[in-house]
Amino acid sequence: MDTEKILKNLDRVTPFFQPIFSADQHQVIGYEILGRYEEQSEYKSLGTFFHDSSVPKEYRVEVDNYVLEIALERIKDYGEDFLIFINRDPNLLMLDHGEEFMEILHRHFQPEEMHRVVLELSDTISPENFAPLQHVLAYFKTYGIKIAFDHLGKDTQLDQIAQISPNILKVNLDQLRISGGDAYQVILFSLSMLARKIGANLLFESIESEYQLRFAWKNGGRYYQGFFLAKPEGEFINKDLLREKFHQECQSFISLETKKLEAVYQKTLQFNEYMHTFLKQQKRVGSHEEFLGVMAEKLDSICFRLYICDEEGYQKSPNILQKDGQWIAQPSYLNKNWSWRPYFLENIVKMRNEKKGILSDLYSDIETGETIRTFSYPLNNKEYIFFDLSYSYLYENDALL
């Protein structure tokens, strides 16, 4: 977009507002301010202008502030109370340490209204700006201003985000989708864990389908934004416009997810009953390897790996692994310790006290890379059997995926 044309025709620059919806209220809880340029009755995004490093910094700041001033006037005239999401490049913000930005806010808000402001920062903080930016954001927070990180994806620096401790993490579904495969879930899991640790809410943007909305809901998204819900417009919408749609979608999501959880629960019961019966009928004779060999033949179409560990995580048997249709022993795994694995000791304590087995959540196997689940069961007070369910079995029982 022609920089000179934009600067000479600021009267053609105007703010658009994209609604942000909440999962808990089923209504619009805020708007993101976006810059548009009117040309031949069409409104073109100014996104490329704001992200073009060849455009002098002061020009980008000038247009950014111009859009913000007009937007805040329109918001004031509209009169409703909602969150206002304002985009800023953190490096441009630090040109004057946020002074002009705060001056604009003070012109439009009373001190008690500052809590409505959500400052969206792109994840492009230069190393020399990081420490001073922390101080500026801490100052902003004293006014009640909320901080959000925008466009989070595969290149996100989680350590910087954790240090700043924002209120909202904005997850870009397009960027995650580009990552592809297991990386998609790994990145999302990392962001979800970070949000939980620092007390932040997840906002999923770029939602363009019902499937993506369900994905955001299932993965802990509190806020949603995207063309599937509402496009950016020059005017505001009725905050309850999609309340009924959200209610219906939510009911559908709850129903589907409840069925999947019920399937996992029932499968856990089945495995517990099977193990209880098997251990009553099977006399424990011979070695752990012989015992697992008998069990492996019984579970031939269900699992691909079995092993036994003690309560401290030390493996007391070899791995019994299915390879090329045959069960083989892997003695090299004897005495390895798995207590470092997430939830291992927690599950051991749970099994020991409840006297029943546990079916894990979905995860990627370290060695095969496949998506699997593991069922673990207490053999006695000191030993526990683990068998890894194959992806083919999960696929045949698709409610487990």
Return the percentage of the chain with pLDDT > 90, whole number. Answer: 77
The tens digit of pLDDT for each residue in 94-147 reads 999 999 999 999 999 999 999 999 999 987 888 899 999 999 999 999 999 999
Per-residue pLDDT at 154 exceeds 60? no
The tens digit of pLDDT for each residue in 305-350 reads 999 999 999 999 999 999 999 999 999 999 999 999 988 999 999 9
Q: How far is Cα 401 from Cα 391, in angstroms, rounded to an integer?
A: 9
Q: What does the pLDDT read at residue 369?
A: 83
Q: What does the pLDDT read at residue 364?
A: 83
The tens digit of pLDDT for each residue in 181-232 reads 566 777 788 888 889 999 999 999 999 999 889 989 988 999 999 999 999 9
Measure Cα distances from 358 to 188, 216, 271, 368, 388 in Å: 25, 27, 9, 22, 12
Task: Give the residue among 325, 329, 306 at the shortest CA–CA distance from 385.
Answer: 306
- 295 bridge partner residues: none
Question: Superfamily assignment of 256-400 in CATH?
Answer: PAS domain (3.30.450.20)
The tens digit of pLDDT for each residue in 239-278 reads 999 999 999 999 999 999 999 999 999 999 999 999 999 9
Q: Domain segments of the chain: what residues?
A: 3-230, 256-400
The maximal CA–CA distance of the chain, rounded, in angstroms, is: 89
Per-residue pLDDT at 44 exceeds 70? yes
Quote the mean pLDDT of the chain.
92
- What residue type is 119 in one-letter code? L
Q: How far is Cα 93 from Cα 140, in angstroms, rounded to an integer?
A: 12
Measure Cα distances from 183 to 38, 77, 174, 177 in Å: 39, 45, 13, 9
Residue 272, classed as helix, strand or coil, is helix
CATH of domain 3-230: 3.20.20.450
